């Protein structure tokens, strides 16, 4: 299958690419991104076939249905990364928390957040493709906390790939920072930046745009790629677990084949829920995709009113920082799917020049056929964390944003799957506070308090972080980043 561009073609870029090319060079014409030219069928026939499939068998079939130019051995090798998850037989367990509500836990990989679901296999494939072409790539990431550790983890010691990861000093949890600064691999570099996440991201953009830096990369024969969720190589792996969750509900006799379900997705860059959208379009019986946000509720406004307005907003720091996002990149893929390339370009041009765009009432109606949206304040999330903890289920603050959606937006008598995107251990001070503890000054005491006062255990990979040697102690001012990068390269 070929991959096409969301904003049309500029006559310079190729109009369509293979999967491997689209993941190595993920930026398309006019600042657009790549999408599959059509979707496979994941309706009843496909679902029947996989009623008894292991996650990896299902995954292989989903990937191959897209007819991507990656051989089966490489795909199997990539999928074997799931063998290192807590339970290789079931990498994404489903927990029942209400009679009609189930939490699918996407965080049982090495860095305890859902980013591993896609980045683990994706990292293997990207490195293989680079080796095959005898090319060297630099992946640069700016992280607010979860993407950084997951990107470092997947590419560590992988040939032909170097990773540089920038994080805002003081802007992440202790666990997230330690996951990055204790990284030992020689092909990876971690730099703390003086400033917040926005500053960090702007610095990365400046660096990537600098001619001088590009020339230095060229001299060293290094190409740039990206591992953020604009890369379709990540999205494709985020379709699989939506299908798997549906099959699990059938296997557990909670639904019958063909019955619709609600999917509630805590959303930031819209990559997770986009996977659910593609699954629905391909035939998975989904009633609605419920987009959960925090007070940075630009997606709620878009889905309720058809207006996407960045200009009137300032980013607000919340207890669900992975969703503190105003520019939600993957919405563009839905716009393209529904309205085509010319209209998508028009809307994105308007977003770039005026900071906003407005859908027509007809367009909004088409969005609302598939999506509904809700947002929660931090104190509402803490209340949900406390409520479910009393019933024996500990959830992280991102997952907690879903519970109001579940209560408010699911009027029909249908089952709901809520996606849990991080383990509580990554946001332990918030969870401890929600549970009424005063041991919330740092992650060490919060983790310990929760382990002592609930049935939860701190997993070894989190516990070990506190005694590991810090390899990347560097925190720099903006103007020194380029020098540091060049030293590393």
- Catalog residues that contact ligand PLP under the rule CB under 6 A: 113-115, 146, 229, 266-272, 322-323, 398, 421-422
Q: Smallest gap, in angstroms, from Cβ of residue 14 to ligand PLP?
A: 27
Q: Smallest gap, in angstroms, from Cβ of residue 416 to ligand PLP?
A: 18
Q: How far, in Å, CA of 264 to CA of 401, rounded?
A: 9
The label of the residue with tokens 């489903």 reads 94
Q: Name, in order, each residue with C-beta under 8 angstroms of 425's C-beta and a sequence gap of 6 or more.
A: 112, 175, 447, 458, 459, 462
Of the pair 158, 267, the CB lying nearest ligand PLP is at: 267
Of the pair 36, 276, the CB lying nearest ligand PLP is at: 276
* Nearest CA among 10, 112, 47 for reference residue 260: 47
Q: Smallest gap, in angstroms, from Cβ of residue 397 to ligand PLP?
A: 8
Q: How far, in Å, CA of 235 to CA of 118, rounded?
A: 7
Q: Smallest gap, in angstroms, from Cβ of residue 81 to ligand PLP?
A: 18
Q: How far, in Å, CA of 194 to CA of 293, rounded?
A: 27
Of the pair 187, 300, the CB lying nearest ligand PLP is at: 300
Q: How far, in Å, CA of 103 to CA of 174, rounded?
A: 26
Phi and psi based region of residue 261 (left: phi greater than 0; alpha: psi -120 to 50; beta: remaining): beta
Q: How far, in Å, CA of 59 to CA of 71, rounded?
A: 14
Of the pair 154, 269, the CB lying nearest ligand PLP is at: 269
Q: Smallest gap, in angstroms, from Cβ of residue 464 to ligand PLP?
A: 21
Q: How far, in Å, CA of 458 to CA of 447, rounded?
A: 7
Of the pair 146, 332, the CB lying nearest ligand PLP is at: 146
Q: How far, in Å, CA of 304 to CA of 310, rounded?
A: 16
Q: How far, in Å, CA of 27 to CA of 225, rounded?
A: 9
Q: Phi and psi of 368, rounded to 5°? A: -75, -10
Q: Smallest gap, in angstroms, from Cβ of residue 451 to ligand PLP?
A: 20
Q: Smallest gap, in angstroms, from Cβ of residue 368 to ligand PLP?
A: 19
Of the pair 128, 234, the CB lying nearest ligand PLP is at: 234
Of the pair 151, 410, the CB lying nearest ligand PLP is at: 151
């Amino acid at each position: 299958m070929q991959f096409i561009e969301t904003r049309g073609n500029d006559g310079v870029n190729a109009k369509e690419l293979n999967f491997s090319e689209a993941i190595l060079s993920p930026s398309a014409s006019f600042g657009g991104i790549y999408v599959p030219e059509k979707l496979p069928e994941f309706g009843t026939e496909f679902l029947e076939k996989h009623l008894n499939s292991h996650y990896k068998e299902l995954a292989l079939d989903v990937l191959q249905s897209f007819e991507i130019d990656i051989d089966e051995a490489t795909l199997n090798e990539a999928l074997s990364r799931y063998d290192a998850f807590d339970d290789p037989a079931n990498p994404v367990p489903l927990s029942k928390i209400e009679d009609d509500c189930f939490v699918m836990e996407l965080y049982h990989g090495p860095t305890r957040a859902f980013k591993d679901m896609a980045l683990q296999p994706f990292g293997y494939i990207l490195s293989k493709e680079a080796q095959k072409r005898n090319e060297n790539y630099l992946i640069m990431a700016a992280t607010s906390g979860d993407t950084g550790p997951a990107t470092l983890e997947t590419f560590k010691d992988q040939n032909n790939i170097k990773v540089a990861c920038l994080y805002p000093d003081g802007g992440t949890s202790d666990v997230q920072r330690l996951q990055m600064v204790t990284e030992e691999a020689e092909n990876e570099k971690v730099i703390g930046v003086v400033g917040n996440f926005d500053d960090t991201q702007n610095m990365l953009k400046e660096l990537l745009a600098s001619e001088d830096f590009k020339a230095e990369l060229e001299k060293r024969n290094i190409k740039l790629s990206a591992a953020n969720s604009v890369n379709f190589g990540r999205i494709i792996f985020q379709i699989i677990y939506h299908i798997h969750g549906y099959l699990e509900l059938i296997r557990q006799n909670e639904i019958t084949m063909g019955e619709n379900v609600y999917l509630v997705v805590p959303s930031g860059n819209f990559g997770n829920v986009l996977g659910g959208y593609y699954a629905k379009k391909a035939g998975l019986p989904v009633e609605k995709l419920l987009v959960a946000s925090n007070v940075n509720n630009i997606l709620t406004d878009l889905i309720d009113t058809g207006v996407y307005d960045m200009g009137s907003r300032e980013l607000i720091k919340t207890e669900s920082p992975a969703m503190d996002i105003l520019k939600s990149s993957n919405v563009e893929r839905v716009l393209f799917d529904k309205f085509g390339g010319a209209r998508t370009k028009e809307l994105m041009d308007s977003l770039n020049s005026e900071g906003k765009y407005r859908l027509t009432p007809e367009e909004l109606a088409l969005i609302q056929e598939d999506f509904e949206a809700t947002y929660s304040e931090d104190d509402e999330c803490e209340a949900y964390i406390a409520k479910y903890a009393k019933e024996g289920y500990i959830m992280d603050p991102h997952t907690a944003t879903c519970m109001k959606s579940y209560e408010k937006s699911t009027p029909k008598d249908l089952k709901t799957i809520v996606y849990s995107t991080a383990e509580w251990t990554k946001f332990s001070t918030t969870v401890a506070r929600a549970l009424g503890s005063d041991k919330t000054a740092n992650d060490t005491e919060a983790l310990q308090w929760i382990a002592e006062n609930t049935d939860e255990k701190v997993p070894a990979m989190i516990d070990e972080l506190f005694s590991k040697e810090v390899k990347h102690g560097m925190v720099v001012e903006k103007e020194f980043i380029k020098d540091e990068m060049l030293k590393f390269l």
